[in-house]
């Protein structure tokens, strides 16, 4: 019958466990030179007190270093120079748009009367009998309407509206009967209710 052999790794592990247990027992019983088992309770207490004092001194040094660093890094607060804001000119602004508008003239009635007479005369020249009467009546009505329109067109005018946006955010429109010198983007100023150029 063949004997089973124990694997070498198992033997190595068993030896390591035995050695670790022996070292632990020697440490607890004071057989090892570095063990504190040979030291008296007074020596152990003195070592603990020294360690506590060392830690307190280290904490105090760190606090002093932080305080010194904070004192060196503390700079007076930066105060920015006050910003000078330009005073708003309520009557200063910029031209936004120049609009051209045709204003229809008023009819005085002269054009309608004159047109009616001329239209009646022309209508009277057309046809004969009752057709002549119808043509004359149509000529009077048509001539009156046409004469009135011609008179209104003759009396119509062009108006120029200048739209201005002021520095305070408001806007206004100034009307002129002739074409003004301003264009969109020009700086203007209102003086005594009149629009003037501003540099």
Residue 37: DSSP 8-state: G
Per-10-residue mean pLDDT for the chain, 199 residues long? 70 80 74 57 79 85 81 63 70 88 74 67 69 70 74 79 88 85 87 81
Asked if 159 contacts 98 with a C-beta cutoff of 8 angstroms, the reply is no
Give pTM, 2 decimals.
Answer: 0.40
For 139, residues 6+ apart whose C-beta sits below 8 A from its C-beta are 119, 120, 121, 122, 123, 124, 126
pLDDT for 127 equals 67
d(CA 78, CA 76): 6
Question: 130-155 vs 110-124: helix axis angle to the nearest 10?
Answer: 150
pLDDT for 174 equals 87
For 109, residues 6+ apart whose C-beta sits below 8 A from its C-beta are 148
How many Cα atoms occupy the beta-carbon half-sphere of 24 within 13 Å? 6
d(CA 40, CA 2): 58
d(CA 103, CA 112): 20
pLDDT for 35 equals 47
Of 153, 151, 175, nearest to 164 (Cα)? 175
pLDDT for 69 equals 76
pLDDT for 33 equals 59
Extents of the domains making up the chain:
92-197
Total residues found in the chain within this entry: 199
d(CA 115, CA 121): 10
The partner residues of 162 in beta bridges, in order of sequence, read 98, 174
């Amino acid at each position: 019958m063949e004997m089973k052999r124990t694997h070498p790794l198992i033997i190595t592990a068993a030896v390591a466990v035995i050695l670790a247990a022996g070292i632990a027992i020697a440490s607890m019983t004071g057989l090892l030179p570095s063990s504190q088992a040979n030291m008296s309770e007074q020596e152990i207490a003195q070592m603990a007190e020294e360690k506590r004092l060392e830690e307190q001194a280290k904490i105090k040094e760190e606090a002093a270093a932080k305080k010194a660093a904070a004192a060196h890094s503390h700079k007076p607060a930066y105060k920015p120079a006050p910003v000078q804001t330009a005073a708003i000119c309520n009557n200063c602004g910029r031209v936004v748009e120049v609009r051209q508008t045709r204003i229809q003239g008023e009819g005085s009635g002269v054009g309608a009367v004159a047109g009616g007479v001329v239209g009646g005369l022309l209508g009277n020249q057309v046809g004969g009998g009752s057709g002549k009467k119808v043509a004359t009546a149509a000529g009077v009505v048509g001539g009156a309407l046409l004469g009135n329109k011609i008179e209104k067109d003759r009396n119509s005018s062009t108006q120029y509206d200048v739209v201005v946006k002021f520095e305070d955010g408001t806007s206004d429109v100034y009307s002129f009967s002739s074409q003004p010198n301003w264009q969109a983007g020009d700086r203007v100023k209102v003086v005594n209710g009149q629009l003037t150029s501003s540099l």
